[in-house]
Amino acid sequence: MSLQMHDRLLWPGGRRKAFTLSYDDGVTQDIRFIELLDKYKIKGTFNLNSGLLGQQGMINIGKRPAAHNKVPAEDVKRIYSGHEAASHGLYHSTICNTDSARCLNEVLNCRKELEALMGYPVTGFAYAFGAYDDTVINALKGCGVTYARTIRATHAFNIPEDFLVWDPTCHHDDPMLPELTEKFLNDDSLFPMLKLFYVWGHCYEFDQNDNWDYIESFLKKMSGHESVWYASNGEIESYVSDYRRLVFSVDGRFVYNPACTAVWVGAIGSDSVTEIRPGCVTALPEPAVL
């Protein structure tokens, strides 16, 4: 027999699954992809290089050449409305093995310029080429960045311990994506109780590999599940951070929420869900017997 306290994080509304997307470079193919996201009511995070906005180009990898045209600065707010804009560095530079000043320049100026375009704080980041080191991470911390995505696939549905080293589940072209999709949607196992499915990529790859139909089929399959919270990267990080700030009594019988948003908790082996309202002390149910 095991007693399980009602202190385990649940997604908003008591959900146990969440789905998030992250797409890099701020290219014009994002527009078509966002139309699909809006059609299926799914949120995305888009990582932009503020110093390259409006630049025109081609990319010659993949099955065929594809346009690599950056969205114009004047259109950024309109294009990404309803989704999250995050930073991908000022010039998409590899800032590993550089000094802190150059790291700070790449990170802070991109954040500042994107905030001027979007009209809200930009605290997310995706590492250019997935590359980072301690100097880069320290620069992110100094610039107020709260999360940063790598490109290292976990093939799992875990919540990161450190959001500045946030490994996604997989890329959208990962051969395991269909298997992972089925596993995520059908997985009701207790361990881990909470699941996060994170897919990333670049929207120009849909032109390169001629797989727009494939990604729409995936989004359609993922959409409309009441048991899934569809959130941006920033919403995920902010919510988990609010949970980590909860103050539990020693015996786990009540909890104080110092944040300005509600947090939901439950227990392993129990269907009971408790909403911890902001600024309140909340009594918790008796421990669940497992």
In SS3 terms, 99-151 reads as CHHHHHHHHHHHHHHHHHHHCCCCCEEECHHHCCCHHHHHHHHHCCCCEEECC
Token pair, residue 231, equals 């959130």
In a domain? residue 240: no
Q: How far apart are CA 151 and CA 166, in angstroms?
A: 9
In a domain? residue 241: no
pLDDT at 288: 80
Number of DSSP helices (H) and strands (E) in the chain, helices first: 8, 18
Question: In the chain, how many domains are there?
Answer: 2
Residue 38, classed as helix, strand or coil, is helix
In a domain? residue 181: yes
Q: What is the pLDDT of residues 34-76, one digit of tens each?
A: 999 999 999 999 999 999 999 999 998 778 999 999 999 999 9
Enter the pTM of the model.
0.97
pLDDT at 99: 93
Domain containing 155 — which CATH number? 3.20.20.370
In a domain? residue 137: yes
- The closest alpha carbon to 47, from 85, 20, 95, 13, belongs to 85
Instruction: Pick out the chain residues at pLDDT < 50.
Output: none
Is 258 found in the same domain as 188? no
Is 129 found in the same domain as 23? yes
Is 143 found in the same domain as 49? yes
Q: What is the pLDDT of residues 89-121, one digit of tens each?
A: 999 998 999 999 999 999 999 999 999 999 999
Q: How far apart are CA 225 and CA 48, in angstroms?
A: 29
pLDDT at 88: 98
Within 13 Å and on the Cβ side, how many CA atoms surround 276?
A: 32
Is 202 found in the same domain as 181? yes
Is 22 found in the same domain as 11? no
Strand partners of residue 8: 266
**Angular region, 29: left φ>0, alpha ψ -120 to 50, beta rest:** alpha
Residue carrying the six token digits 């227990």: 267
Strands 58-59 and 124-126, by their bridges, are: unpaired
For residues 151 and 168, the answer to whether their CB atoms sit within 8 Å is yes
Is 120 found in the same domain as 52? yes
In a domain? residue 238: no
pLDDT at 63: 81
- Burial label for 99, CB within 10 Å (0-12, 13-18, 19+), is exposed
Q: How far apart are CA 28 and CA 38, in angstroms?
A: 16
A 10 A CB-CB count for 164 gives: 20
Q: How far apart are CA 85 and CA 45, in angstroms?
A: 6
Is 162 found in the same domain as 34? yes
Is 35 found in the same domain as 65? yes
Q: Which domain holds residue 253?
A: 1-15+247-290
pLDDT at 13: 97
For residues 14 and 189, the answer to whether their CB atoms sit within 8 Å is no
